[in-house]
Structure 1
Amino acid sequence: MSVAEWITAAAGNVTAKVTRGGVADLRPMPRVLIDKGRMRSVYRFAGSATGDPVLLVPPLAAPALCFDLRRGCSLAEHLVDQGRSVYLVDYGTVSFGDRGLGLEHWVDDVLPHTIRAVSKDAGGRPVHLVAWCLGGIMSLLTAADQHDLPIASITSVAAPFDMTAIPLIAPFKPLVDIADGWFLTAAYRLVGGAPRALVKRAFQLSAIDKVITKPYAILSHLDDTDFLAQIEAVDRFTDNMIAYPGRTFGQIYHRFFRANDLAGGAFDLGGRRIALAEVKVPVLVVAGTGDSIAPQRAVRHLVDVLDNAAEVVFHTAPGGHLGVLAGRGARETTWKYIDDFLAVHNPV
């Protein structure tokens, strides 16, 4: 690109930012509500579709727009454009009144009701789950616990199953263990959970290098509309972080991070023990090579505990925690892995 071309492109992007507020196309994909309950709204994306339905399962605390980040970099848009029948569950916002909700609410109520609603709306067909982060953990626990659900396959992206492999946690664990976790327990009980502002800051700190270098990156890419659009979309995503309900946050803190229960392949929930070895459906596991929240080794551990899955496929892809799912590079890596996996188990 010549200097004149660079200046022209950069000027156009700056003008768009000033006059239109940005360069990203943040319009959501058209969708219709098919089911609703406490902490769940289930949507079907518009468009002609064939094959079994694909259900997008977000984690808690993160907005469901992770699957529909922006036009041109939306996994939902990509799957719809392929002619697939695509659904999304959105948990909505979390209030102080939801502080008593634990992981049981999602594993026993939200996901089972959602899966059955999607299957019914799709004419009784089995459902293929595509989940991100904690959404993957909850999806796998649900499949392991309730064998009667019409689940055809599970794709788990950036879901950690061995917390000792997360370098962000290691420096703080000795301090937490010495105090037996009492100070954090008292804090989340007092406020009813992890506030959305805290969740947002934690997400930003996981990629602090990119936060620090962001102004320089923007200036050096003023001519790159796609790059600038991605930054705008990620900023919107981060601004829409959601709080964790108190009891759920407590379970994640004590059981996942302090006790590392998931690494053993089983989890005590609601008075029964759920073993991941009970997952029988095919599973695709994807880890981000630059993910500090769910590093490759923490994600890869899932393969070791899925003893009875019909098939387990593992891939790595470039990107951080969000980037491996919805980054610009995900279009040529993670999305292709999902395409290939679904082509085998859910051809259209």
Structure 2
Amino acid sequence: MDLIPKPDQVVSAASNVAHKVFYGGLADLRPMPRTLIDDGTLREVYHYRPAAKVLEQGDPVLLVTPLAAPALCFDLRRGCSLVEHLVSEGRPTYLVEYGQVSFKDRNLGMEHWIEEVLPTAIREVSAHAGGRPVHVIGWSLGGIFSLLAAADNTDLPIGSLSIVGSPFDVSLVPLVAPLRPLLNLTSGRGAITRAYQAFGGAPKPLVKWAFQLSSVQKLVTKPIALATHLDDPDFLAQVEAVDRFMDNMIAYPGRSFGQLYHRFVKENGLVDGTFETGDRTIRLSDITAPVLVFGGAGDGIAPVPAVRAVVPLLSGSEEVRFEIVPGGHLGMLTGRAARNTTWAVLDEWISQWSTAPDPAATASDSPGDDGEGDEGAIGTGRRTHRSTTSRSLAR
């Protein structure tokens, strides 16, 4: 809105404020309909129902949420929902989330997600989609878990991996780097360690605060941004949707939070591409599936250099591709520009590494079918080459 608003801007702003007051908001927050197909300890796997008059066919996509963040990250609001986009394109779309974390889950470590939750979810999705390979998309910590699960289980039916905003070198994260020498002075007996041990993890308010801290400038300037965009209903709707996302943060289990804090933050344990679990070492170099890596141009939680650090660690992958896209940590995934940047690259990548459609299944399926008859042989129609590319879509 202009410093001296034009008449049409005043009318639009008044309409938006009235809509907010009388109807509660401008954003269409209806969730995409879904069906539970598998569940277990902190594991819920959902299949999103096909869109009306759209034929669901081809390889399935599995969306992997990070710990502590709600699945709203993939289904923020209508028009800015990756789920809505994938379903409208006819892709069999699935999601794994973890439900509410409680004190009884305090002893669960990251091994639970790497060794049990994600491998089971990938296999269940493949089976539900007729035995097809699964294209895994993980955001933030969900991307780290996806890579570690793929490295630890090289026989999983994975067609490709897409990693969005996942930092592998925390020494390159400006918010964390200055603190690491101080954190290491306590030898594991500092206030943070004592706090998460006492509470059985990181509580929801702390998780929300930490996420907000990464974009403190936006938080401080938010009232000004709202005042200057009162005539922009799409901007206001996005703010509403992000606020709802923030209000639905989930607690971290105690042991998992401890591993993240000590191994990832204090020790920068992923920088060499390995993760110690039990009596063995998981190595990212064991991943053979093609990997697409996204860095957000404005990401304060996972800056581009911290994310790009994973590329040389994926030496065994059939192809590694690195893309820089506009947006912060959440915006790069589901911001207003994501449709023409991140999502467009994802569409191209998944199509490149998808198996050939089964003509018989295509002919027999009808719009709205659940996809059970959609079958295909793993590897059919796949390119065999390896290269590393990097480009920027940031504007």
TM over 0.5: yes
Of stretches 7-16 and 276-285 in structure 1, the one that deviates more from structure 2 is 7-16
Query: Does 1:3 find its partner at 2:10?
Result: no
1:64 paired with 2:52, answer no
Name 1:248's counterpart in structure 2: 256
| 1:273-292 Cα deviation digits (max 9, x unpaired) | 00000010010000001111
Corresponding residue number in structure 1 for 2:36? 33
Is residue 144 of structure 2 the alignment partner of residue 141 of structure 1?
no
**1:166 counterpart residue number:** 173
| CA displacement, residues 21-45 of structure 1 (integer Å, 9 cap, x when unaligned) | 1000000001111111111111111
Match of 1:104 in 2: 111
Three-state SS of the structure 1 residue aligned to 2:309 is helix
| 1:87 aligned residue (80, 85, 94) | 94
Q: Give the Å deviation of 1:171.
A: 2.0
Partner of 1:208: 216
Choose the corresponding residue for 1:218, options 223, 226, 231. Answer: 226
1:23 matches 2:26: yes
Matches within 5 A, 1:1-348: 3-47=6-50, 48-183=55-190, 184-346=192-354
More helix by share: 1
Q: What percentage of aligned pairs have identical amino acids?
A: 58
Bigger Cα displacement from structure 2, 238-247 vs 8-17:
8-17
Give the 3-state SS of the residue equivalent to 1:161 in structure 2: coil
The aligned amino acid for 2:132 is R
Give the distance between the partners of 1:270 and 1:46, measured in 2 at CA: 39
Give how far 1:330 is off. Answer: 1.3
The alpha carbon displacement at 1:57 in A equals 0.3
Q: Give the secondary structure class of the aligned counterpart of 2:275.
A: strand
> For residue 111 of structure 1, what is the amino acid of its counterpart?
L
C-alpha separation in 1, matches of 2:195 and 2:260: 15
What displacement does 1:346 show? 2.0
What secondary structure does 1:263 align onto?
A: coil
Q: Distance in 2 between matches of 1:315 and 1:181?
A: 36
Alignment partner, residue 374 of structure 2: none
Amino acid at match of 2:36: L
Tell me the SS of whatever aligns to 2:270: helix
SS at 1:51 equivalent: coil
Shift of residue 180, structure 1, vs aligned partner: 1.7
- Give the AA of the match of 1:51: G
Secondary structure at 2:323's aligned position in 1? strand
Per-residue displacement from partner, 1:229-283 (whole Å, max 9, x unpaired)? 1000000000000111000001111111111121101110132100000010010
Deviations 1:72-97 (A, max 9, x none): 00001011111111001111110000
* TM-score under structure 1 length normalisation: 0.98
- The more displaced of 133-142 and 330-339 is 330-339
Unaligned runs of 5+ residues in structure 1 are: none
- Aligned partner of residue 253 in structure 1, secondary structure: helix
What SS does the aligned partner of 1:148 have?
A: coil
Give the 3-state SS of the residue equivalent to 1:50 in structure 2.
Answer: coil
Deviates more, 1:255-264 or 1:59-68: 255-264
Tell me, in whole angstroms, the C-alpha distance in 1 between the residues paired with 2:127 and 2:76: 27
> In structure 1, how many angstroms separate the alpha carbons of the residues matched to 2:340 and 2:15?
27
Corresponding residue SS for 1:159: coil
State which structure, 1 or 2, has the greater radius of gyration over its C-alpha atoms. 2
User: Following TM superposition, by how much is the alpha carbon of 1:181 offset from its aligned partner in structure 2, in angstroms?
Assistant: 3.3
Letter in 2 for 1:64: A
1:146-175 superposed Cα distances (whole Å, 9 cap, x missing partner): 112111110000000011100101221121
Q: Which runs of 5+ in 2 are unaligned?
A: 358-395
1:140 match: secondary structure = helix
Shift of 1:336: 1.1
TM-score scaled by length of structure 2: 0.86
Could you say what secondary structure the match of 1:72 adopts?
Answer: coil
What CA distance in whole angstroms lies between the structure 2 residues aligned with 1:172 and 1:284? Answer: 30
Deviations 1:109-164 (A, max 9, x none): 11111111111110111110011000011000000011121111100000000111
Considering only aligned residues, what root-mean-square deviation do their CA atoms show, in Å? 1.2
